[in-house]
Amino acid sequence: MKGNQFYIVFGIVSAVLLGAAGFYCYQGYNSYNEAGGEFNTRRTALKRLKRSKPYPNEENLGEIAKQVKDYDGKIQQLFNNLDRFQQPLNSNIDDRQFPQILKAKIEAFKVLAKKKGLKITEEKEFYMAMDAYRTTPPDIKAVPLLDYQLGAIEYLLNVLVEAGVSELINLDRELLPEERAEGGKPGEDAAIDSSAVTAKYPVSLTFETKHPAFVKLVNQITNDDKYFFILRALRVDNSSKDGLVKGEGEDGGNAPRYVNAAGVEAPQDLINKIPPDLDVPGQVDWMRENGGFELQSSDARILLGSEKLRVFMVIDLVRFADASAKASGKENMKKGQMPKN
> Average pLDDT for consecutive 10-residue bins of the chain (341 residues)?
61 67 64 71 77 69 82 74 73 89 95 94 93 90 92 95 94 89 46 66 94 90 88 86 51 66 86 85 88 70 65 92 48 39 35
| The amino acid at 203 | V
Cα(27)–Cα(20) distance, integer angstroms: 11
Predicted pLDDT of residue 278: 84
In this prediction, residue 191 carries a pLDDT of 46
pLDDT at residue number 180: 76
pLDDT of residue 302: 47
Question: Residue 167: which of 207, 110, 114, 225 has the closest Cα?
Answer: 207
